[in-house]
Amino acid sequence: MELRSVSKHYAGVTAVDNVSLKLFAGEIMCLLGENGAGKSTLIKVLTGVEPPTAGQVVVGGQPVHFGSARDARRLGISTVYQEVGTLPLMSVGRNFVLGQEPKKGRWLARRLDLVEANRVAVHEMQELGIRRVVDGNQMVGTLSGGERQALAIARAVHFGARVLVLDEPTAALGVRESGLVLQLLMRVRQKNVAVLLITHNAYHAVAVGDRFVVMRRGQVIAEFSKGTETLPAVIRLMAGGDELSELAGLTGEGQWQVS
């Protein structure tokens, strides 16, 4: 799918200004930028939450108009939100199938197939490398933050996501948990899903990304592929100047070469 010259204005504010973007199956595209750069607004347009002020959203070569996030999801575009994906007081299995519950029986006896729900949930999470979750009856609230992200991602992939959008999935996570989520994204990539990872953490981005887009003040200021830019350069681009990298003392290049 792609965005063609998309802009989004809010009363007085240009949140996204003439941005074009292409996503490919089996690739992780990283959307980078500081807070307020317009990343969240761009994905709202991409996922049908908000219509663009100008420009087109194109899926499979056809321009589309999403009336809602549900329209986008029907075309296989799923979003995983950082805080609001899962329900802590429900089981892993029940969370996993929510909204798409498997059923058994007929007529009045038509009911939830909880055995199947638990089986699918555990199987899909194991498949994405979450080994610690073995019981679908486990409460989601007892999972770690990374495992909860994994549940949300596994669910989206299982229910047919072709494009998976993640807005700051690692923002609230510690180092190990972030690693878990990033590893999982690489597994999702292997399933031939197009992944759009939004982050302001350049380290996380270069660890998994295939292609990178850097936004600032609503505009794309740089686009590059894996291995063509150094990490300090990426950080400099995001900050829009040399101040941050000087502060961090990241002036030497070479040892930060992205591979």
Partner 1 sequence: MARSETGGLVSAVAVFVFFAITAGGKGFLSQTGTSDWINTSSQLGIVALPVGLLMIAGEFDLSVGAVVGATSIIVAMCHGYYSLSPWVGITIAIVVGAGIGLLNGVITVSTRLPSFVVTLAMMLMVDGASIGVANALTGASSISAIPTGSSRVIFASSWDSFDVSIIWWAALAVLGTYLLEKTQFGNWVSATGGSARAARLAGVPTSRVKIVLFVASSLGAVLVGIIETLSFSNGNVTLGADYVFTAIAAAVIGGVLLSGGYGSMLGTVFGSFTYGIASMGVFFLGWDADLTDLFVGLFLLLAVLANNLLRRMAVGRDAGVPS
Stretch that binds ligand ADP, among 7-15, 138-146, 147-155, 236-244 (CB under 6 A): 7-15
We find the least distance from the C-beta atom of residue 13 to ligand ADP, in angstroms, to be 5
We find the least distance from the C-beta atom of residue 85 to partner 1, in angstroms, to be 6
Nearest Cα residue to 38 out of 239, 234, 219, 167: 219
Q: Which amino acid is at 8?
A: K
Q: Does 56 bind Mg ion (CB under 5 A)?
A: no
Q: Does 41 bind ligand ADP (CB under 6 A)?
A: yes
Chain positions 8 to 27 lying near ligand ADP, rule: CB under 6 A, are: 10, 13, 15
* Binding pattern for the stretch 87-116 against ligand ADP, x by CB under 6 A and - elsewhere: ------------------------------
Q: Which of 40, 56, 126, 219 binds ligand ADP (CB under 6 A)?
A: 40
Stretch that binds ligand ADP, among 28-36, 54-62, 225-233, 245-253 (CB under 6 A): 28-36
We find the least distance from the C-beta atom of residue 37 to ligand ADP, in angstroms, to be 4
- Pairing status of strand 111-112 against strand 194-199: unpaired
The CA-based dihedral angle spanning residues 187, 188, 190, 195, taken in that order and rounded to the nearest 10 degrees: -130
**Residue 86 touches which of partner 1, ligand ADP, Mg ion, none (Cβ within 5-8 Å per kind):** partner 1
**3-28 CB burial, b ≥16 within 10 A, e <16:** bbebbbeeeeebbbbebebebeeebb
Where helices occur in the chain by DSSP H, the ranges are 39-46, 69-74, 92-97, 114-127, 145-158, 175-190, 202-208, 231-239, 243-248
Q: Cα dist. 211→7, 125, 200, 222, 230 in Å? A: 22, 26, 15, 11, 13
Nearest Cα residue to 44 out of 72, 25, 64, 17: 72
Q: Which of 40, 53, 82, 183 binds Mg ion (CB under 5 A)?
A: 40
Q: Which residue has the tokens 């317009």?
A: 38
Size of site (CB under 6 A) for ligand ADP? 11
Helices (H) and strands (E) in the chain, counts: 9, 12
**Which of 66/96 has CB closer to ligand ADP?**
66
Q: 10 Å Cβ neighbour count for 172?
A: 13
**Which of 39/155 has CB closer to ligand ADP?**
39
Size of site (CB under 5 A) for Mg ion? 1
We find the least distance from the C-beta atom of residue 145 to partner 1, in angstroms, to be 8
Give the interface with ligand ADP as residue ranges (CB under 6 A): 10, 13, 15, 33, 35-41
